[in-house]
Amino acid sequence: LKVVILLPNVLIKLKMTLYARGMWIDLLTLHAIKRKSMKKFLFIAFLLLGHIGFAMAQKSNVAEIKFDTTVHDFGTFSENESTQKCVFTFTNVGSAPLVINQAVGSCGCTIPQYTKAPIRPGEKGEIKVTYKGKGLYPGHFKKTVTVRTNGDPSMVRLYIEGTMTDANAEAK
């Protein structure tokens, strides 16, 4: 069939030869189907390339947050020193300014503080987390801070954990 499409002179000779054998209609039908299929293929290919180009253009101007670490372990500490603090550092590795819309602790004992100003591409930012365990049950804990941004990913979870020992047990 490639010879039929590429060389019109051969097509005429091939049509005459096949007509003599009673296959004229089959060749014309096959040739018409091939032309329609090619048009559909080219149309779908251009449509697909257009969508891919549009998606890549949209992706290129996006903020992207990347944390150095998403877990902090306070280790073991006494109930007498129940207020523990840590800092999560992140970088905007995207190409647009990054805005932290919200940072919420999983309970009242976990208090995040974050910068409200946009972080430019390539710059670093911090989320400071304070854990206040005073009056809570001693033992192991694991808390989360949910961070929502305008970037990719739009939501990140940070984890703090540790073991708080009972102040009364230490005194004995």
- For residue 155, the one-letter residue type is M
The answer to whether 83 and 131 have CB atoms below 8 angstroms apart is yes
pLDDT digits (tens, 9 = 90+) for 84-127: 999 999 999 999 999 999 999 999 999 999 989 999 999 999 99
The answer to whether 142 and 161 have CB atoms below 8 angstroms apart is yes
pLDDT digits (tens, 9 = 90+) for 33-82: 455 566 666 677 666 666 666 665 555 689 999 999 999 999 999 988 98
| 3-state class (DSSP) for residue 68 | coil
Confidence category of residue 15, pLDDT binned at 50, 70, 90: very low
From 100-104, 136-140, 146-150, the region with the lowest mean pLDDT: 136-140
Distance CA 17, CA 37 (A): 25
The answer to whether 88 and 127 have CB atoms below 8 angstroms apart is yes
Confidence category of residue 19, pLDDT binned at 50, 70, 90: very low
What is the reported pLDDT for 155?
95
The answer to whether 128 and 39 have CB atoms below 8 angstroms apart is no
Residue 16: C-alpha distances to residues 1, 30, 32, 79 (Å):
15, 16, 17, 99
